[in-house]
Amino acid sequence: MRLLGRRGVAAAVVVVVAIAAGGIAYASIPDSNGVIHGCYVKTTGQLRVIDSGGKGCEPGEKPLDWNQTGPTGSTGPSDSWDTGQVAPVGLDPSGSHVTVAQLPLPAGNFVISAKTVLADATATQRVPVTCRLEIPTLLIIDTTDADLLPLGGVGSQAMPLPFEATVALSGPETVTLSCAATQNALKPFALEARIVALKVGTLH
């Protein structure tokens, strides 16, 4: 068994103290409030992290603190509503609007998106069409017009129509997507109609 002399014992004590001191410094970064403290040199941008219980920044350095977890952000979207109609819905060839999808909503602020695809099964010439997204108390909140162009034989191309709107509802409302063929229509229809509403905290 080898025994340490006085010099060896002193060296061992120094090592233990250094390890303990290092553990204390490590434990205080971040501090008890979760804040990380640092110092940076403005001219060079050099940054170093310091112990909150230490002596602080050197001359020529500026203090810089930040939170390890970050501040609590604002509440994001809390809910969403979705409805759709995949099957074709026949439109009125005389030009009257026909409902292709409806979505009831509660009071709140909403970002609304919708879409549908229009076509005419027997069109032989250009068919003007129009669709609108509306809420009774706000009237029309978005509208889209397009032309269904005939294909080489009988029937028209399929035309996708997108819609977007933001609304603030003071009470329950129903969003309605309706479409109409304004002229030259023979057998117009809408399919793949969908309305999606995302509730948000604030509208800017």
Give the tens place of pLDDT for each residue, 14-62: 444 444 444 444 447 788 887 888 888 888 888 888 887 777 888 889 8
Instruction: Tell me if 1 is assigned to some domain.
Output: no
Q: What is the pLDDT of residue 170?
A: 92
Query: Based on the domain organization, do 88 and 54 belong to the same domain?
Result: no
Q: What is the pLDDT of residue 124?
A: 86
Domain that holds residue 160: 79-200
Q: What is the CATH number of the domain that holds 194?
A: 2.60.120.760
Query: Based on the domain organization, do 117 and 36 belong to the same domain?
Result: no
pLDDT of 13 above 70: no
Q: Are 34 and 68 in contact (CB under 8 A)?
A: yes
- Residue spans of beta strands (DSSP E) within the chain: 35-40, 47-50, 62-67, 79-85, 89-90, 98-105, 108-120, 127-135, 139-148, 159-169, 173-181, 188-200
Instruction: Tell me if 188 is assigned to some domain.
Output: yes
pLDDT of 113 above 90: yes
Lookup result for tokens 């609108």: 132
End residue of a domain, out of 41, 67, 93: 67
End residue of a domain, out of 67, 87, 120: 67
- Residue spans of beta strands (DSSP E) within 17-61: 35-40, 47-50
Give the tens place of pLDDT for each residue, 47-100: 888 887 777 888 889 888 887 666 676 665 568 999 998 889 999 888 899 999
Considering the entire predicted model, what is its pTM? 0.61
Instruction: Tell me if 145 is assigned to some domain.
Output: yes
Q: What is the pLDDT of residue 21?
A: 46
Query: Based on the domain organization, do 28 and 93 belong to the same domain?
Result: no
Q: Are 174 and 136 in contact (CB under 8 A)?
A: yes
Q: Are 178 and 131 in contact (CB under 8 A)?
A: yes
Q: Are 186 and 125 in contact (CB under 8 A)?
A: no
Other CB atoms closer than 10 Å to residue 110's CB: what's the count? 26
Other CB atoms closer than 10 Å to residue 176's CB: what's the count? 19
Instruction: Tell me if 13 is assigned to some domain.
Output: yes
End residue of a domain, out of 17, 36, 67: 67
- Please count the structural domains in the chain: 2
Give the tens place of pLDDT for each residue, 156-197: 889 999 999 999 999 999 999 999 998 887 889 999 999 999
> Distance between CA atoms of 203 and 18, rounded to whole angstroms?
57
